[in-house]
Amino acid sequence: MSSIWQVARGLRASYRDSDLRHRVEQLNGRLDKTLAPDDSANSDHAETAREYYDICSHLMIYGWGESLHFAPLTASESLEDSKLRHQRLMIDKLDLREPMSVIDVGCGIGGPMRTVVRESGVRVTGINSSEVQLARARSLTAEAGLSDMIDYVETSFMDMGAIDNNTYDRAYAIESTCHAPDKVGAFTEIARVLKPGALLWGQEMCLTDTFDPDNAQHQDIKQELMRGIALRKIATFAEVNAALESAGFEVIEGADRGTAENGSTTPWYQPMEARSGTRSSTLRGTPLGRRLAIGSARVGETLRVLPRGTAEIAKLLDRTAEAYVAGGKTGIFTPLYCFVARKPLGDPPGETATIGHVC
């Protein structure tokens, strides 16, 4: 994981020429808009999601590591080991092997991408619209000595016009397409760049069947999750599957891997709770660790080691963690709906078209 000094260097490098505190204030205003019922208030959601990751990524890495995703947990594993096991499951499900070419849709800072390259020997192209995340991905990939196996395209996964039809053998999208303003459009664009017969692994943040739209507590938690993760909406399992099928994919399998019956013997949200003695717990992710991060950020701002606004980012991520825990404890939300889908050998809908949305 990053040290606080790496966070400080990263923040200073990323926001040298901008007023971070003002940007955080604007981001909070944008996140509030995600809760507005009318579509016009959400018209700038693409920019909101990009700004969210540009601003928050350095502290996300500090608290969660290089692989910025959830994974099924067991009491005997560290959080990092659980994430690695989950990535290996994805590699197995996609049957990745040389000399395949693979696209990482919404690659973040490239943690899973580097695992994929190391363990399967495939070439990977990472797609991301966050300049800050891509810069960090390139740096970490160079440090790992894997730059010759990984390419990057700074673009929205809603419009990958720089990539030809039928280019990649496989694709994966880990907690990225949940941000799509048009899920069918996102999956259609992914299908366009995949070769016929290619497989797609996805990991979506979803509402579970426990969610009751008439339950006020459930609705409040949903609203906090949408705000805290910069989501325009949260789909159900059925809605994700329907979007895949509308885009022309065949859904081979889909499961909530955050449940005990699917391999998660420790709640997926446990690292964000008070420490319970399991190996998946780390101080940084717990309520105490998050409070310490906020306090340290305030001190760092006073000493001018950290830019003004850093503490507000830490407070935003603390609020988001509380929403994750509430969603997990009530059972209405999971970040671990994982599916495998196949592009048919024939042309799916939209094969010759490029989707014009931006995310």
User: What mean pLDDT is predicted for residues 345-356?
Assistant: 48
Q: Which residues contact 333 (CB under 8 A, 6 or more apart)?
A: 205, 206, 207, 208, 211, 221, 222, 225, 234, 324, 327
Residue 99 CB burial class (10 angstroms; 0-12, 13-18, ≥19):
exposed
Coil, strand, or helix at residue 57? helix
Residue with tokens 């800072």: 109
- Eight-class DSSP state of 266: B
User: What mean pLDDT is predicted for residues 247-255?
Assistant: 97
- Give the integer Cα–Cα distance in Å for 102 and 129: 18
Where exactly are the structural domains of the chain? 4-66+270-330, 79-218+231-264+332-342
Q: What is the pLDDT of residue 358?
A: 28
Angle, CA of 107, 60 and 211, to the nearest 5°: 85
Residue 18: pLDDT band (50, 70, 90) is: confident
- Give the integer Cα–Cα distance in Å for 64 and 290: 11
Residue 330 CB burial class (10 angstroms; 0-12, 13-18, ≥19):
middle
| Percentage with pLDDT > 70 across the chain | 89
Residue 4 clears pLDDT 70, i.e. is over it: no
Asked if residue 324 lies in contact with residue 272, where contact means CB atoms within 8 angstroms, the answer is yes
Q: What is the pLDDT of residue 7?
A: 72
- Eight-class DSSP state of 73: B
User: What mean pLDDT is predicted for residues 255-266?
Assistant: 88
Asked if residue 204 lies in contact with residue 177, where contact means CB atoms within 8 angstroms, the answer is yes
Coil, strand, or helix at residue 232? coil
Instruction: Express each pLDDT in 28-66 by its tens digit.
Output: 998 988 777 655 544 577 788 989 999 999 999 988 999
Residue 10: pLDDT band (50, 70, 90) is: confident
Instruction: Express each pLDDT in 302-341 by its tens digit.
Output: 998 888 999 999 999 999 999 999 999 999 999 999 999 9
Highest mean pLDDT: which range of 28-42, 224-238, 255-269: 224-238
Closest of 192, 162, 171 to residue 112, by C-alpha = 171
- Give the integer Cα–Cα distance in Å for 323 and 98: 41
H-run or E-run covering 313: helix 310-330
Residue 209: pLDDT band (50, 70, 90) is: very high
CATH architecture of 79-218+231-264+332-342: 3-Layer(aba) Sandwich (3.40)
271: left (phi over 0), alpha (psi -120 to 50) or beta: alpha
Instruction: Express each pLDDT in 96-125 by its tens digit.
Output: 999 999 999 999 999 999 999 999 999 999
